[in-house]
Amino acid sequence: MKSKKKILCIGAGYVGGPSMAMIAYKCPDYRVTVVDTNPERIDAWNSSELPIYEPGLDKIVKKTRGKNLFFTKDIENQIKENDIIFVSVHTPTKTYGTGADMAADLQYWEKTARQILKYSRSSKIVIEKSTLPVKTALAMEKILSSAKGRFRFEVLSNPEFMAEGTAICDLENPDRVLIGSHETKSGLNARAELIKIYSRWISKEKIITSNIWSSELSKLVANAFLAQRVSSINSISALCEKTDANISEVAKAVGMDSRIGDKFLKASIGFGGSCFKKDILNLVYLCRYYDLKEVASYWENVVKINEYQQERFVANILNSMFGTLAGKKICILGFAFKANTGDTRESPAIYVSQKLLAEHAELIISDPKALKNAAVDLAGTKGKVKYIEDPYQAAVGCHALVILTDWDLYRNLDFRKIYKSMVKPAFIFDGRNIIDHKKCFSIGFNVYPIGKPALSHFKV
Ligand code: NAD
Ligand code: UGA
């Protein structure tokens, strides 16, 4: 039997798992192995309950696992056996020392580089899939080239642009695949190897190449631009609330200009997720490092507006409910940072919940996929919190509903039934503008959307 070509991925997280499952699915003649230092994660990838919820992921893992997709804890031997290695370890914001709360913490990434160096017994192509500050590949090259003369390590940058909740569609049909390489002979050969893999299912025009630094920087910039759109529309939502303009109407009118486009113009309680904030802060840190103060503060404001949006959402709840939340029951509908994921990293729901608990409100948190993570996120927080998946049960006896995730499930709830089970006057704060506000108002709710006039039954 012809032996399969081999690929290794170090890091079995939200990126490593789905992206390698897609390669295994599309390239049956490659043997794809994913390793991780976290043994529970590997066990979960090998079980019937995958460690992350992602629509469509189960199906492709079922089709490939044990055939040409493998999850294992044996990092040492896998590094020895594989000549193409993707690195998709996490790169969170640093919490200590120089660059704390801004720069990327590169310790996991550097440990990986050292592991590759230590266990390698042949030359390898090493592909940065994690999001990294521009010029990180240079550091990786320096570490890997310390084994002078023994083997060659060619470093490529291949940032991942998938979004959670739509990861499988994004991986199967990406807008583009970006590969950064050196323009040397070995750099171009390595690039060709990677193009060979992606061109199995992605058209040649969508696979673009650049130098490594442009590739690293493009990833940070793409996230910064997307987040900037959310902050732009959210800043205007504040103005709409003061002027009786309607943010949905404004977004529609603005987005129909083909130069602007209609995506990422949904006003909300603010962006969450593990990457937008960390990548912008990383960009800000880089700009400061290169003494580009004005550029740094321009991008920093995208994060500041995001924080402002969450603060004013909580202030609106407090003010609308007569200035006190003490002892009131509030039902949080949605804890994930967006729909179709169980991921709660940097979810605005964490901030909102903590602030409501600080006002001595009692919280009943509901979410179809994120309750386990929510319980971990709020573990150290003082106050009364219950977790109930069924939104109807969660709302019983509550004074207010607070919608924080745009799950489809919440669009079509039977709000009449919910209203009957709540304490009156009943309030809805729609942090996603996903429900029919007029209908809920006619049922009897006092309704507070984002960037639209409140619909209140109170005279003043
Ligand atoms: P994650 O935390 O879900 O997964 C990272 C995994 O790497 C963890 O399971 C961790 O145990 C493992 N790991 C860390 N050090 C290791 C080592 N030395 N050896 C083996 N395994 C190790 O993170 P993620 O969300 O998958 O993100 C990974 C990278 O991809 C980040 O740089 C992120 O910015 C980027 N990214 C994420 C997304 C996303 O949607 N989550 C999308 C695009 C890019
Ligand atoms: C984002 C990018 O979209 C991906 O391209 C990128 O690969 C990824 O970050 C990453 O590097 O991790 P993700 O964070 O998974 O993906 O999800 P998005 O769909 O971008 O949403 C981010 C946040 O913005 C969510 O909280 C979402 O609810 C919010 N959002 C998005 C809005 O509030 N309004 C919008 O119009 C769009």
Ligand 2 neighbour 337 (Cβ under 6 A)? yes
* Residue 273 Cβ contacting ligand 2 at under 6 Å: yes
From the alpha carbon of 219, which atom of ligand 2 is closest?
11
The total of other beta-carbon atoms located within 10 Å of residue 18's CB is 24
**d(Cα 219, Cα 321) in Å, to the nearest integer?**
42
Distance 88 CA to ligand 1 centre (A): 5
Known active-site residue 331 = no
For residue range 215-271, what is the model confidence (pLDDT) as tens digits? 999 999 999 999 999 999 999 999 999 999 999 999 999 999 999 999 999 999 999
User: For atom 10 of ligand 2, which residue has the closest CA?
Assistant: 275
Alpha-carbon distance of 185 to 298, in angstroms, equals 39
State pLDDT tens for residues 373-382: 999 999 988 8
Cis peptide before 425 (omega within 30 of 0): yes
Q: Indicate the pTM of the whole model.
A: 0.97
9, 240, 275, 287: the catalytic one is 275
Report percent pLDDT > 90 for the chain. Answer: 94
- Residue 147 has a pLDDT of 73
- 226 CB less than 6 Å from ligand 2? yes
- What is the best residue among 34, 38, 90 to mutate for testing ligand 1's pocket, by most ligand atoms within 8 Å of CB? 90
Task: With cut-offs at 50, 70 and 90, classify the pLDDT of residue 4.
Answer: confident
Decide the pairing of beta strands 153-157 and 362-366.
unpaired
Q: What is the pLDDT of residues 131-190, one digit of tens each?
A: 998 888 888 899 988 876 678 999 999 999 999 999 999 999 999 999 999 999 999 999
Residue 416 and residue 125: Cα distance in Å, rounded?
59
Pocket test for ligand 1, best of 8, 9, 15, 42 (most atoms within 8 A of CB): 15
Q: Which atom of ligand 2 is nearest to the CA of 279?
A: 11
In tens, the pLDDT along 275-323 reads 999 999 999 999 999 999 999 999 999 999 999 999 999 999 999 999 9
The model's pLDDT over 366-417, given as tens digits with 9 standing for 90+, comes to 999 999 999 999 998 888 999 999 999 999 999 999 999 999 999 999 999 9
Q: DSSP state, 460?
A: -
Ligand 1: centre distance to CA 131 (Å): 9
Cα 415 to Cα 243: distance, rounded to the nearest angstrom: 28
- Ligand 2 atom nearest 162 alpha carbon: 7
Q: What is the pLDDT of residue 460?
A: 67
Q: What is the reported pLDDT for 126? A: 97
Edge to edge, the sheet with strand 329-333 lists 385-387, 362-366, 329-333, 400-403, 427-430, 446-448
- Name which residue sits closest to atom 25 of ligand 2, judged by CA: 271
Domains parsed from the chain with CATH numbers: 5-202 (3.40.50.720), 220-304 (1.10.1040.10), 313-449 (3.40.50.720)
Closest CA to 397 of 406, 408, 388: 388
DSSP, collapsed to helix, strand or coil, labels residue 46 as coil
Which ligand 2 atom sits closest to the C-alpha of 222?
Answer: 5
Q: Which two tokens stand for residue 295?
A: 């550029």
What pLDDT score does 1 carry?
A: 45
Q: What was the pLDDT predicted at 383?
A: 86
Burial class (CB in 10 A: 0-12, 13-18, 19+), 173: exposed
- Give Cβ neighbours of residue 332 (< 8 Å, ≥ 6 apart): 349, 352, 353, 363, 364, 365, 366, 402, 404
